[in-house]
């Protein structure tokens, strides 16, 4: 078994059981404010607002201020309805009101989690745009460990509640998220158009997958910018979805209710309207990890960011359409981790790396590496000179590549070599 490189399955991770940059603050203007349901525009004549984002492991991260706080970092996740705070730093100072304790659950083979549900919060995205009177979920335990896995501090996840009133444009090449007011922009929409259905705040699109047996199946997939992987498929949800003939048992990520395990393989092709992507990596979570979602008639899986990043995307929530235009990433091959281990940063922002997962029978396991090992050198280069994204890219580079690695295990210094292998 090999370790899949950080598939953070954030989208559709939960449902309710009970019913650094410089900080800035919203400015007050004397003009008559314009309300779009819960959204307050600071400049009434604005037709769109641009929010630059950072891209980490295919995930979009934007700055957000809550109730006048300093700038926080949130992952943009179209698979989530209510915004969720996953962790706060010691230095973060936030004020919440009208909060009550609830239980939430989601993907992963574990128990429900306790969280706080807070009402009436004010979110600010840029000096031009803020939103008020919004609900917010605050996890009381950092189950995702997003900061450690992405190598930077990340505070939460944000999605549908803030974007439903806009045409949302995602430009992965320029790393810009643009929120357009529909009445001014709808006639300017470009790209190939597909129907997009919104159910309980989550967007779905119909695609076709062709598996290794040559059979073509029509599937309904959640559009999920918060999943770093390409495609996830539930074999229990569709009679024509099957495990590939060649696969590896893999750790697929972390859900609200625990670890997500399953199989990792490839499908022959993914058809999204007129666009066809070949040899796509696909994960197949096991039924225990999917829990209540296993065999759901509502969806057959997820369409993740490793596919979406190959397009310039426009999502028209009100109009029920998604528009796609291929970009420079379109023809890139689909990669995955060939080492069989996952690396995290115990102190985000510092070049300190430890091994968190090692899959049995993988190159990392055969090299004698263990979870908890602190990485000191990679190819005789000090680990302090690496960024986490560089280590990820190295592990995805090419089969047959030899990587020398030194680790600290307790009081021992161990130097070994692993050979990247491509089993699928």
What's residue 233's pLDDT? 95
- The DSSP code for 227 is B
Tell me the C-alpha distance between 391 and 124, whole Å. 34
Can you name the CATH fold of 14-187? Cathepsin D, subunit A; domain 1 (2.40.70)
Q: Do β-strands 84-85 and 129-139 pair in parallel, antiparallel, or remain unpaired?
A: parallel
- Half-sphere exposure of 405 toward its Cβ, with a 13 Å CA cutoff? 31
Tell me the C-alpha distance between 16 and 352, whole Å. 36
What are 407's strand-pairing partners? 375, 414
- The DSSP code for 385 is G
- Give me the residue label for tokens 């730093």: 89
Answer for the pair 237, 295: CB distance below 8 angstroms, yes or no: yes
What's residue 140's pLDDT? 83
Options 3.30.70.260, 2.170.190.11, 2.30.42.10, 3.90.1640.30; CATH of 341-419: 2.30.42.10
Digitized pLDDT (tens) for each residue of the chain, 424 residues in all = 333 333 333 433 333 323 233 233 333 333 333 444 455 555 677 889 999 999 999 999 999 999 988 899 999 999 888 899 988 775 566 787 788 888 776 544 445 778 889 988 999 998 888 888 888 999 888 878 888 888 888 999 999 988 898 999 999 999 999 999 898 898 888 889 999 999 999 999 999 999 877 889 999 999 999 999 999 999 999 999 999 988 888 777 766 656 777 889 999 999 999 999 999 999 998 876 566 666 677 899 999 999 999 999 999 999 999 999 999 999 999 988 899 899 999 988 888 999 998 888 889 999 999 999 999 999 999 999 999 989 999 999 889 999 999 999 999 999 999 999 987 8
What's residue 113's pLDDT? 75
Domain ranges of the chain: 14-187, 196-326, 341-419
What's residue 109's pLDDT? 45
Q: Per this entry, what is the length of the chain? A: 424
- Give me the residue label for tokens 């960011």: 305
What are 382's strand-pairing partners? 377
What's residue 255's pLDDT? 65
What are 265's strand-pairing partners? 282
Q: Do β-strands 374-378 and 39-41 pair in parallel, antiparallel, or remain unpaired?
A: unpaired
Tell me the C-alpha distance between 134 and 123, whole Å. 8
| Residue 143, H or E segment | none
Tell me the C-alpha distance between 31 and 155, whole Å. 33
Residue 6 structure tokens: 């950080």
Single out the residue of 156, 266, 256, 267 nearest to residue 217, CA to CA: 267
Bin 400: left if φ > 0, else alpha if -120 < ψ < 50, else beta: left
What's residue 39's pLDDT? 56
C-alpha 205, offset from chain centre: 18
Q: Do β-strands 275-285 and 231-233 pair in parallel, antiparallel, or remain unpaired?
A: parallel
What's residue 307's pLDDT? 98
Answer for the pair 118, 133: CB distance below 8 angstroms, yes or no: no
Tell me the C-alpha distance between 380 and 3, whole Å. 24
Tell me the C-alpha distance between 92 and 71, whole Å. 9
Tell me the C-alpha distance between 16 and 27, whole Å. 34
Q: Do 14-187 and 341-419 show the same overall fold?
A: no
Which residues are CB-neighbours of 421 under 8 A, at least 6 positions away? 2, 338, 340, 362, 363, 399, 400
Answer for the pair 325, 303: CB distance below 8 angstroms, yes or no: no
Whole-model pTM: value is: 0.85
Tell me the C-alpha distance between 72 and 377, whole Å. 32
Q: Residues 38-76, buried b or exposed e (16+ Cβ, 10 A)? A: ebbbbeeeeeebebebeebbbbbbbbbbbbebbbbbbbb
Can you name the CATH fold of 196-326? Cathepsin D, subunit A; domain 1 (2.40.70)
């Amino acid at each position: 078994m090999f370790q899949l490189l950080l598939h953070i399955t954030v989208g559709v991770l939960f449902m309710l059981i009970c019913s650094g940059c410089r900080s800035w603050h919203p400015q007050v203007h004397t003009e008559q404010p314009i309300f779009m349901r819960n959204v307050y525009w600071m400049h009434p004549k604005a037709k769109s607002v641009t929010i630059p984002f950072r891209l980490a492991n295919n995930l979009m991260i934007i700055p957000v201020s809550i109730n006048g706080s300093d700038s926080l970092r949130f992952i943009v996740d179209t698979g989530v309805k209510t915004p969720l705070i996953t962790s706060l730093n010691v230095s973060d100072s936030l004020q919440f009101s009208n909060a009550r304790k609830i239980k939430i659950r989601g993907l992963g083979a574990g128990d429900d989690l306790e969280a706080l549900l807070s009402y009436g919060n004010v979110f600010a995205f840029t000096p031009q745009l803020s939103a008020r009177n919004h609900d917010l979920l605050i996890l009381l335990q950092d189950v995702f460990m997003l900061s450690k896995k992405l190598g930077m501090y990340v505070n939460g996840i944000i999605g549908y509640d803030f974007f439903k009133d806009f045409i949302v444009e995602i430009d992965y090449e320029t790393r810009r998220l643009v929120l357009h007011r529909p009445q001014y922009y709808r006639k300017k929409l470009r790209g190939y158009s597909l129907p997009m259905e919104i159910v309980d705040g989550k967007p779905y699109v119909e695609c076709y997958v062709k598996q290794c047996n040559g059979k073509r199946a029509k599937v309904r997939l959640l559009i999920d910018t918060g999943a770093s992987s390409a495609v996830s498929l539930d074999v229990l949800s569709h009679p024509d979805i099957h495990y590939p003939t060649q696969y590896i048992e893999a750790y697929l990520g972390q859900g609200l209710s625990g670890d997500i395990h399953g199989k990792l393989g490839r499908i022959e092709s993914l058809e999204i309207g007129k666009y066809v992507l070949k040899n796509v990596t696909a994960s197949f979570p096991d039924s225990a990890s999917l829990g209540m979602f296993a065999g759901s008639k509502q969806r057959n899986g997820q369409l993740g960011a490793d596919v979406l990043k190959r397009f310039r995307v426009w999502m028209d929530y009100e109009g029920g359409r998604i528009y796609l235009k291929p970009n420079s990433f379109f023809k890139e091959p689909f990669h995955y981790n060939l080492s069989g281990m996952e690396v995290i940063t115990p102190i985000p922002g510092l070049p300190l790396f430890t091994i968190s997962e090692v899959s049995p029978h993988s190159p990392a396991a055969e090299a004698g590496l263990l979870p908890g090992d602190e990485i000191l050198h990679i190819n005789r280069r000090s680990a302090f000179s690496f960024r986490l994204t560089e280590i990820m890219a190295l592990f995805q580079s090419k089969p047959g590549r030899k990587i020398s690695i030194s680790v600290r295990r307790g009081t021992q210094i161990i130097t070994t070599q692993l050979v990247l292998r491509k089993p699928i």
